[in-house]
Amino acid sequence: MPEPKTVATHCPYCALQCGTRLSRERAGVTVRPSDFPVNKGGLCQKGWTAPTLLDTPDRLRHPLVRDAGGRLVPVDWDTALDKVAGELRRIQAAHGRDSVAVFGGGGLTNEKAYLLGKFARVALGTSQIDYNGRFCMSSAAAAGNAAFGLDRGLPFPVTDLGAADVVLLAGANPAETMPPLMQHLAHPELIVIDPRRSATAERAALHLQPAPGTDLALALGLLHIAVVDGWTDTDYIRGRTTGFDAAWQLALSWWPERVERVTGVAVSAQRTAVRMLAEAERAHVLTGRGAEQHSKGSDTVAGFINLALALGLPGREGSGYGCLTGQGNGQGGREHGQKADQLPGYRMITDPGSREHIARLWGVAADSLPGPGRSAYELLDALGTEGGARALLVFGSNPAVSAPNAGHITERLSSLDLLVVADFVPSETTRMADVVLPVTQWAEEDGTMTNLEGRILRRRRLQVPPSHARSDLEVLHGLAVRLGEPGHRYPTAPREVFDELRRASAGGKADYSGITYDRLESGEALHWPCPDNQNPDAPHPGTPRLFLDGFAHPDGRARFAAVDHRDAAELPGTAFPLHATTGRVLAQYQSGAQTRRIAELNEAAPESFMEIHPDTADRAGLRDGALARVSSARGETVARVRLVGTMRTDTVFLPFHFPDDERANLITGDALDPRSRMPEFKVSAVRVRSADEVGR
Ligand SMILES: Nc1nc2c(c(=O)[nH]1)N[C@H]1C(S)=C(S)[C@@H](COP(=O)(O)OP(=O)(O)OC[C@H]3O[C@@H](n4cnc5c(=O)[nH]c(N)nc54)[C@H](O)[C@@H]3O)O[C@H]1N2
Ligand SMILES: Nc1nc2c(c(=O)[nH]1)N[C@H]1C(S)=C(S)[C@@H](COP(=O)(O)OP(=O)(O)OC[C@H]3O[C@@H](n4cnc5c(=O)[nH]c(N)nc54)[C@H](O)[C@@H]3O)O[C@H]1N2
Ligand code: SF4
Ligand SMILES: [Mo]
């Protein structure tokens, strides 16, 4: 069949998954936004420039294997896959199944995420699989599951936001991270909680500017005011929730003046925030990575959910709580079994019934499935150590840049016997690999993605991939067969994988069994859960809005969580007197592996920088535009000084998109949330000084 000239598909980057029309024209591939509900004809600069990535000059086009002289040299696929499979067998024979680990990504399609989990648990038989979503959504997932019995980023369509009167954004900067979403936030009054006056805070009716790592105290304080000032919805609390008293016992000791002392947010601003939310007819509380990427991220999200519950928002038409998921398939990526403790359908790997269901589908014995493995940071931290893995396969991540404590993690990666990376562009991690496998990218493949509202979308193929690139599904198939698996267990056609995934998910929390490629093809808006009701004439319509009739716990009630504030793992002191926090800029995506190769984006954001208050800079002897060295107890990074008068004087901000000695993660630490295992990307104690004196 000839390739189509135009396809309706979605942007390759973030969880908004803006709808686009891609066309192949003589001058190359062009993109136009479509009138899809999330982006309503809008795209951000990354979306507009995405086609450039398809034929970037340094696109990976051949499998590469490191030769005796230490250079990566092109080889054919059989040589590359034979080598990988041979090494994996040798390492597992000598050191056991768990000596091989797998690291996935929230950018992978549902089909890839599913097959990767199956490959790890069956073909490799390893428990050691986790993915970069652990760095992204795990705290909100832990809190959401505990509160509502179910974790779907937004339990309602994005378009509901536009009808709200007030939206509170805790640690999210969508004006840069999901620009077209701002169309839906134009009408509601915004309350933004962010230590920086971000582009989103600029548009807010109210900006609360706490010290990094103090959101939980603030959330407890807002709950305190809601109760004391009589704003709570007592009927809702009585009828639809449990656990209020225990949560209130802890919020009781967070009176407004104390909260002001800990967070720096004025009492009057706290009161205004609560009044705005409580007086609104329709209101939403949303969290982003700013509130979540902490060693108490899951408790912090629980604190904001407590506030939303006290005001009676979740599960009410037009109001609610949600988390803004991050990566393109950040939602689906967490449902199909690439997370250390999960099986497909958002099932727990420790649950005997779930193991039985999945094992039967996969044609293996339930007791042959491994148990839960290590979380992302712990998996990387253990590489090459006693009991840790000695070989690692990476699909869809660039941990040499994006993992916390990156200097240490880079060392762990280099201690491996075998590092295999599948990617379509060179990255800081492929550069360290023993074998690099060149794969297809978005416009060259079919599949499904699940956006931030839990809606399943079709990624469509526009053109043939470069001749030697293979899809991730083909790579997994090729490796599995070489490891002695029957080929039919690892289908390479996305539709076939999706059909198996549907059956795997049937009866699970994230039930996709009623969703088919044909239904998606006809343009139906299908949000999970969408069970197969066996009625072809009136199939299940999917679930755009969750919790309207009850929450997903057996008693139908939401749970308040008894959470209390605690300090960040590391506080500023004499040696390291400032808070550093990290995050994103509009023109770069994540580790930058994709966007740093696009000229327009590089012009807009060419290098790392540090936002710092002029007084703080002055004390450190730093001029605007000078190079600064920013050091923590872990290491040091280099960034261009940017004086910003609205910064807190105790805090600096760095983006994490840049490589080598500009990696912000050289300073971040290894503290993890005890429940979600989320690293504390958003707080480190640092010292800043001029780099000019010492040179680079
Ligand atoms: N341009 C661009 N867009 C992206 C991405 C990208 O890399 N680039 N990545 C995508 C992904 S995977 C994700 S997860 C999302 C993330 O989207 P966001 O959550 O919006 O992104 P961040 O910039 O990490 O963090 C948001 C804000 O948190 C603030 N912050 C820092 N520390 C704290 C704190 O202690 N408390 C509070 N309340 N706020 C704090 C930062 O100043 C920042 O403005 O973006 C997605 N979209
Ligand atoms: N300091 C600090 N660090 C952070 C964060 C922060 O806020 N601050 N945020 C964290 C968050 S939220 C996230 S999500 C992570 C993200 O960080 P990473 O996991 O490093 O994410 P990407 O840079 O998107 O890396 C994806 C890689 O996979 C490739 N890729 C994309 N699609 C596919 C595919 O389909 N198949 C294969 N095989 N490869 C593919 C891309 O080319 C790229 O090289 O960073 C985390 N790190
Ligand atoms: S907002 Fe996200 S999905 Fe939309 S164009 Fe930008 S990067 Fe792509
Ligand atoms: Mo993310």
Kindly give the distance from the C-alpha atom of residue 583 to the centroid of ligand 4, in angstroms, as a whole number: 10
Task: Give the pLDDT band (50/70/90) at residue 3.
Answer: confident
Instruction: Report the distance separating Cα 194 and Cα 207, nearest Å.
Output: 7
Residue nearest to atom 31 of ligand 1 (CA): 290
Kindly give the distance from the C-alpha atom of residue 41 to the centroid of ligand 3, in angstroms, as a whole number: 11
pLDDT given at position 1: 65
Kindly give the distance from the C-alpha atom of residue 410 to the centroid of ligand 4, in angstroms, as a whole number: 20
Kindly give the distance from the C-alpha atom of residue 691 to the centroid of ligand 2, in angstroms, as a whole number: 29
**Structural domain for 583, as ranges:** 578-690
CATH number of the domain that 185 lies in?
3.40.228.10
Among 470, 492, 514, the domain-final residue is 492
415 and 296 in a common domain: no
Residue nearest to atom 5 of ligand 3 (CA): 47
Measured from the CB, is residue 136 less than 6 Å from ligand 1?
Answer: yes
Q: pTM higher than 0.85, yes or no? A: yes
Q: Is 535 part of a structural domain of the chain?
A: no
| Residue 597 burial (C-beta neighbours within 10 Å; 0-12, 13-18, 19+) | middle
Measured from the CB, is residue 596 less than 6 Å from ligand 1?
Answer: no
Task: Give the pLDDT band (50/70/90) at residue 696.
Answer: very low
Contact 307, 285 (CB under 8 A): yes
440 and 369 in a common domain: yes
Kindly give the distance from the C-alpha atom of residue 46 to the centroid of ligand 3, in angstroms, as a whole number: 6
Kindly give the distance from the C-alpha atom of residue 319 to the centroid of ligand 2, in angstroms, as a whole number: 31
Encoded tokens for 638: 């280099």
335 and 314 in a common domain: no
Task: Give the pLDDT band (50/70/90) at residue 693.
Answer: low
Instruction: Report the distance separating Cα 40 and Cα 54, nearest Å.
Output: 25
Measured from the CB, is residue 455 less than 6 Å from ligand 1?
Answer: no
pLDDT given at position 694: 53
Query: How far out from the chain centre does Cα 218 lie?
Result: 24
Closest CA to 347 of 108, 117, 112, 97: 117
Average pLDDT over residues 51-71: 96
Measured from the CB, is residue 212 less than 6 Å from ligand 1?
Answer: yes
Q: Is 142 part of a structural domain of the chain?
A: yes
Closest CA to 326 of 301, 354, 351, 293: 293
pLDDT given at position 695: 47
Using one digit for the tens of pLDDT, what is the confidence trace for 642-675? 999 999 999 999 999 999 999 999 999 999 999 9
Instruction: Report the distance separating Cα 603 and Cα 69, nearest Å.
Output: 36
Candidate of 16, 214, 289, 401 to mutate for ligand 1, largest count of ligand atoms within 8 Å of Cβ? 289
Q: Is 486 part of a structural domain of the chain?
A: yes
Contact 479, 21 (CB under 8 A): no
Contact 672, 562 (CB under 8 A): no
Q: Please report, as a single letter, which amino acid is at residue 394.
A: V
Among 55, 72, 91, the domain-final residue is 55
Residue nearest to atom 1 of ligand 3 (CA): 178
Kindly give the distance from the C-alpha atom of residue 11 to the centroid of ligand 3, in angstroms, as a whole number: 6
Contact 500, 492 (CB under 8 A): no
Measured from the CB, is residue 18 less than 6 Å from ligand 3?
Answer: yes
303 and 171 in a common domain: yes
290 and 210 in a common domain: yes
296 and 345 in a common domain: no
Kindly give the distance from the C-alpha atom of residue 691 to the centroid of ligand 4, in angstroms, as a whole number: 30
Instruction: Report the distance separating Cα 551 and Cα 156, nearest Å.
Output: 14
Residue nearest to atom 41 of ligand 2 (CA): 396
Least confident of 2-6, 62-66, 504-508: 2-6
Q: Quick one: which H or E segment has residue 32? A: strand 28-33
From the CA of 105, the nearest ligand is 2
Sign for the pseudo-dihedral over CA of 338, 459, 500, 484: negative
Kindly give the distance from the C-alpha atom of residue 584 to the centroid of ligand 1, in angstroms, as a whole number: 6
33 and 80 in a common domain: no
Helical spans, DSSP H, in 614-674? 614-619
Measured from the CB, is residue 680 less than 6 Å from ligand 1?
Answer: no
Kindly give the distance from the C-alpha atom of residue 141 to the centroid of ligand 1, in angstroms, as a whole number: 17
8-state DSSP, 121: I
Q: Is 512 part of a structural domain of the chain?
A: no
Candidate of 138, 177, 565 to mutate for ligand 1, largest count of ligand atoms within 8 Å of Cβ? 177
Encoded tokens for 226: 């809601």
3-state secondary structure 416-451: CCEEEEEECCCCCCHHHCCEEEEECCHHHCCEEEEC
Average pLDDT value over all residues in the chain: 97
Instruction: Report the distance separating Cα 167 and Cα 175, nearest Å.
Output: 14
Closest CA to 406 of 176, 575, 657, 597: 657
Q: Is 19 part of a structural domain of the chain?
A: yes
8-state DSSP, 610: E
pLDDT given at position 27: 86
Q: Is 69 part of a structural domain of the chain?
A: yes
Using one digit for the tens of pLDDT, what is the confidence trace for 543-587? 999 999 999 999 999 999 999 999 999 999 999 999 999 999 999
| Residue 206 burial (C-beta neighbours within 10 Å; 0-12, 13-18, 19+) | middle
Kindly give the distance from the C-alpha atom of residue 194 to the centroid of ligand 1, in angstroms, as a whole number: 10
391 pLDDT higher than 80: yes
Encoded tokens for 569: 């793992």
Contact 29, 463 (CB under 8 A): yes
Instruction: Report the distance separating Cα 443 and Cα 425, nearest Å.
Output: 15
Q: Please state the atom number of ligand 3 nearest to the C-alpha of residue 20.
A: 5
pLDDT given at position 476: 98
Measured from the CB, is residue 44 less than 6 Å from ligand 3?
Answer: yes
Using one digit for the tens of pLDDT, what is the confidence trace for 514-543? 999 999 999 999 999 999 999 999 999 999
343 and 479 in a common domain: yes
Contact 130, 113 (CB under 8 A): no
Kindly give the distance from the C-alpha atom of residue 177 to the centroid of ligand 3, in angstroms, as a whole number: 8
Among 434, 465, 492, the domain-final residue is 492
211 and 243 in a common domain: yes
Residue nearest to atom 28 of ligand 2 (CA): 396
Q: Is 517 helix (H, G, I), strand (E, B) or coil?
A: helix
CATH number of the domain that 30 lies in?
2.20.25.90
From the CA of 580, the nearest ligand is 1
User: From start to end of 209-319, where are the E strands?
Assistant: 241-242, 283-287
Q: Is 340 part of a structural domain of the chain?
A: yes
223 and 124 in a common domain: no
pLDDT given at position 558: 98
Q: Please report, as a single letter, which amino acid is at residue 527.
A: H
Q: Is 652 helix (H, G, I), strand (E, B) or coil?
A: strand
Q: What contacts 619, CB < 8 A, 6 or more positions away?
A: none
451 and 345 in a common domain: yes
Kindly give the distance from the C-alpha atom of residue 93 to the centroid of ligand 3, in angstroms, as a whole number: 45
Residue nearest to atom 6 of ligand 3 (CA): 44
CATH number of the domain that 413 lies in?
3.40.50.740
Phi-psi sector, 425: left (phi>0), alpha (psi -120 to 50), beta: beta
Average pLDDT over residues 296-311: 98
Measured from the CB, is residue 236 less than 6 Å from ligand 1?
Answer: no
Using one digit for the tens of pLDDT, what is the confidence trace for 279-291? 999 999 999 999 9
Measured from the CB, is residue 173 less than 6 Å from ligand 1?
Answer: yes
Encoded tokens for 227: 């109760």
pLDDT given at position 130: 98
Query: How far out from the chain centre does Cα 500 lie?
Result: 25
The tally of domains found in the chain comes to: 4
CA dihedral (182, 137, 104, 356) in degrees, to 10, reads -130
266 pLDDT higher than 60: yes
Report in angstroms the alpha-carbon separations of 487 from 39, 81, 127: 40, 15, 22
Instruction: Report the distance separating Cα 136 and Cα 116, nearest Å.
Output: 19
CATH number of the domain that 589 lies in?
2.40.40.20
Q: Is 214 part of a structural domain of the chain?
A: yes
Instruction: Report the distance separating Cα 677 and Cα 135, nearest Å.
Output: 8
Encoded tokens for 33: 């936004």
Look-up: residue for tokens 């054919």? 76
Residue nearest to atom 2 of ligand 3 (CA): 14
209 and 93 in a common domain: no
| Percent of the chain residues past pLDDT 70, beyond the cut | 99
Q: Is 333 helix (H, G, I), strand (E, B) or coil?
A: helix
Report in angstroms the alpha-carbon separations of 188 from 26, 167, 203, 315: 44, 6, 11, 19
Residue nearest to atom 29 of ligand 1 (CA): 290
Contact 336, 104 (CB under 8 A): no
Measured from the CB, is residue 194 less than 6 Å from ligand 1?
Answer: yes
Using one digit for the tens of pLDDT, what is the confidence trace for 453-482? 999 999 999 999 998 999 999 999 999 999
Encoded tokens for 450: 């699940």
Candidate of 398, 471, 579 to mutate for ligand 2, largest count of ligand atoms within 8 Å of Cβ? 398
